[in-house]
Amino acid sequence: MTDFDDDAAGSIASAALAVLREQGPLSLEEWATHLEEYGTATELADVLEYLSEPMLGYLPNGKYVALDTVLEGLVFTHRLSEVEIASDILDASPDLEPILAFGDDDGAIRVALAEEAASERGAAPFRSRRVVVLPAGTLGECADGDLVGLAVEDGTLAFRLVEIEDEPDLAPALGELFEEDGVEALDSVCWQLLIEDPSLFTVPVAPLGEIFEVAGYEHERELLARRGFDFDAYDLQIRTALVASTYDLTHDEAVSAVAFVDLADRGYTDAVIADFDIADWAHRHVSAAPDSFVSLADPGAAVAVFDLGFRNQDPVTDAILGALASELAERGPRSVRAAAHWLAGKAVDRLGRVLEAEAHYEKALLAESGWGPALFELAQFASDRGDATRALSLLGRIDGGSEENLYAVLQDFVPADHPELGRNDKCWCGSGRKYKVCHLGKADESVKADGRWLYKKACLFAFASEFVDIVTGLDDLENENLSEDELIAATIFDGSALDVALFEGGIFAEFLARRSELLPEAEVVTAAQWPGIRRSVYEVIETSDTGVVLLDRGSKETVTVAHSVEGEPGDVISARVLTAPTGAFAVGVVVMATESQAARVLEVLASEDLEAEELVRELRGGADHSTDDR
């Protein structure tokens, strides 16, 4: 896609919608020709195809339309249920789907995700994925089965009590839109109908769901098709194609991955409904067709199963997936054993059984010595144990292993060679022992004792998929104002986001819970002190060869840290100062731009209910605040 800067992209978006409002529905190519002052038709087509605007609609015939020009002044009806009346929340699908773009946060009536709205109002679950949230008390005088309407007025949603004034027959028009076995987005179909007949919905008519039923159509989720359409098969077909595309899998590999995850999902549903023996359930389902998942042997297919199957952080899901994978490892074809042991290892690792996970990864390599995902997990475990040499050796057996973050981290902790010493010479460290029994092939113990490797181990643990939303969310928030060059130069190890994710985001506590069995004993003792250490704001007082002296603006105490802080006396930073046997060191260092920013950060840090997002927002400069000079 062609890159435009933010100003140009905003101008193109505004002009593009203006063109649609003036010209009506246009194909991508037609649309681009009206905007040639901004670039070539090819360049603009790339931009327009990915344009994200609430008022932009896509039609079944492949054209684009400005929704406000089509829907302004129209009214859509909905028949109430007792749950909706009690909560003042309306199920959106199918009746209100065409006008959901108008329910923004600025209006009295808003559109929200069903789960969030139900939680907010203490309501029972809703059928729809999205719902319309009305002001509290709106439906107080209504009864079950009453008809209400939502109209688009001046670009916002307005609530009405209505009576049906027309009975449109949409069967002929729908027949023109649908192929025999076709399926379309429900809102898109309605927009197309309105373009062909602008008189529709100008007065209250029956709810869309009832009109579609009379016409011989049915809906599921946000889709519409002729009655009898197999929505489940269509959903499976779409999901399989998406998995194949996302993970670069063959059709058979994608089918196996989706089938394995669906089986686990059925197991989860069964487990919620009734308590049962998960191991026995897994045994029955795998032994009934042990060859069903043979295509999971490909690492990409196994990774797809992990990403999809472990998407919810739920111990029941982990237990079911682990049991299925263990059964597949024992009873499935030999070709799939490496993948099955890896999946079983991932499951028990998430359940806190790291040594059992390690055993599964070792068995994966017995089944297939070069199986990359298992090699990587064992490399991380070797690093956690403090064995950089073995970790690098394992990474060296992976195609592209030298490009992993772990490889770069380990370079600082590999054993230092002393070629000037013979094996039987006294060791360079002064212990009096022979070099071969002291430091030959081993990292300097001072490196392990200064806390840096321990902290990097926790950082690497935070890259696990179950924490990706926390880490990337904070990283995006921290970097949202950076220029393109600054973004390219930045890494996730820089700045505050990863550190805040570890501590305020709770990942470090999970790291201790799941990795303490692997960490050297001294590191466990050191790590146990860190969760209680908060960030603070510091002033650089003095720099010397022995370290940097910092004054804590909060406690007024001074601390000397190793050379992990760059700055001159008088500079103000925010950092977390961690303790280690060899002294203190600072992590997540951020330079304060102004005194007012430093004061705001200190205020946030003093809060009892410290929120990670608010902290990162202030650390990056508080975009909502004006800056002033120190």
Confidence of residue 595 (pLDDT cuts 50, 70, 90): very high
Q: Is residue 431 over pLDDT 60? A: no
Residue with tokens 């280690």: 580
Whole-number pLDDT of residue 1: 44
Q: CB within 8 A of 338, min separation 6: which ones?
A: 297, 364, 365, 367, 368, 371, 374
What percentage of residues in the chain have a pLDDT greater than 70? 90
Whole-model pTM over 0.75: yes
Whole-number pLDDT of residue 420: 62
Q: Is residue 5 over pLDDT 70? A: no
Task: Take residue 385 and report the two structure tokens written for it.
Answer: 């144990």
Identify which has the larger pLDDT, 314 or 39: 314
Q: How far apart are CA 576 and CA 578, in angstroms?
A: 6
Confidence of residue 40 (pLDDT cuts 50, 70, 90): confident
Omega prior to 333 cis, within 30 of 0: no
Q: How far apart are CA 442 and CA 431, in angstroms?
A: 14
Instruction: State whether the Cα torsion 256-262-264-267 is positive or negative.
Output: negative
77, 147 contact by CB (below 8 A) = yes
How do residues 516-548 score in pLDDT, each as one tens digit? 999 999 999 999 999 999 999 999 999 887 889
Q: Is residue 435 over pLDDT 80? A: no
Whole-number pLDDT of residue 421: 64
Q: Is residue 69 over pLDDT 50? A: yes
Q: How far apart are CA 500 and CA 483, in angstroms?
A: 22
Q: Output phi, psi for 440, to 5 deg.
A: -60, 120
Q: What is the mean pLDDT of residues 240-266?
A: 94
Q: CB within 8 A of 87, min separation 6: which ones?
A: 117, 118, 121, 122, 123, 124
Residue in 95, 99, 97 with CA at minimum distance from that of residue 73: 99
Whole-number pLDDT of residue 627: 34
Query: DSSP assignment, residue 427?
Result: P
Q: Across all residues in the chain, what is the average pLDDT?
A: 87
Beta bridge pairs of residue 224 = 184, 219
Q: Is residue 502 over pLDDT 90? A: yes
Query: What H or E segment, with its residue span, contains residue 358?
Result: helix 354-367
Q: Is residue 415 over pLDDT 90? A: no
Task: Take residue 311 and report the two structure tokens written for it.
Answer: 């998407």
Residue with tokens 């930045």: 490
Map 157-187 to HEC letters: EEEEECCCCECCCCHHHHHHHCCCCCEEEHH
Distances (CA, A) of 115 to 40, 133, 136: 44, 12, 17
Task: Take residue 342 and report the two structure tokens written for it.
Answer: 């890896």
For the stretch 479-511, what's the b/e string if a residue is b when 16 or more beta carbons lie within 10 angstroms of its beta carbon? Answer: beeeeeeeeeeeebbebbbbbbbbbbbebbebb
The amino acid at 30: E
Whole-number pLDDT of residue 230: 93
Q: Is residue 626 over pLDDT 70? A: no
Task: Take residue 19 and report the two structure tokens written for it.
Answer: 């063109």
Q: How far apart are CA 300 and CA 246, in angstroms?
A: 10
The amino acid at 208: L
How do residues 344-402 score in pLDDT, each as one tens digit? 999 999 999 999 999 999 999 999 999 999 999 999 999 999 999 899 999 999 999 99
Whole-number pLDDT of residue 59: 93
Q: Is residue 438 over pLDDT 80? A: no
Confidence of residue 466 (pLDDT cuts 50, 70, 90): confident
Could you tell me the strand order of the sheet in which 223-226 lies? 183-185, 223-226, 217-220
Distances (CA, A) of 233 to 183, 229, 239, 243, 294: 12, 9, 10, 15, 22
Identify which has the larger pLDDT, 136 or 48: 136
Q: How far apart are CA 619 and CA 630, in angstroms?
A: 16
Q: Is residue 434 over pLDDT 80? A: no
Q: How far apart are CA 370 and CA 175, in angstroms?
A: 56
Q: Is residue 327 over pLDDT 90? A: yes
Omega prior to 94 cis, within 30 of 0: yes
144, 80 contact by CB (below 8 A) = yes
Confidence of residue 419 (pLDDT cuts 50, 70, 90): low
Q: Is residue 48 over pLDDT 50? A: yes
Q: Are strands 536-544 and 156-161 parallel, antiparallel or unpaired?
A: unpaired
Angle between helices 337-350 and 372-385 (to 10 degrees): 40
183, 223 contact by CB (below 8 A) = yes
Whole-number pLDDT of residue 623: 42
Residue 303: HSE in the Cβ half-sphere, 13 Å Cα cutoff: 16
Q: Is residue 25 over pLDDT 60? A: yes
Q: How far apart are CA 419 and CA 69, in angstroms?
A: 78
Query: DSSP assignment, residue 51?
Result: -
How do residues 210-248 score in pLDDT, each as one tens digit? 999 999 999 998 899 999 999 999 999 999 999 999 999
Q: Is residue 47 over pLDDT 50? A: yes
The count of other CB atoms within 10 Å of the CB of residue 165 is 10
Task: Take residue 253 and report the two structure tokens written for it.
Answer: 């590999």
SS3 384: helix
Whole-number pLDDT of residue 379: 96
Confidence of residue 416 (pLDDT cuts 50, 70, 90): low
Torsion region of 585: left, alpha or beta (phi above 0 gives left; psi -120 to 50 gives alpha): beta
Whole-number pLDDT of residue 485: 58
For the stretch 195-210, what's the b/e string if a residue is b when 16 or more beta carbons lie within 10 angstroms of its beta carbon? Answer: beeeebbeebbbbbbe
Among 272-281, 285-294, 437-446, 587-596, which range has the highest average pLDDT?
Answer: 587-596
Residue in 562, 557, 559, 552 with CA at minimum distance from that of residue 582: 562
185, 177 contact by CB (below 8 A) = no
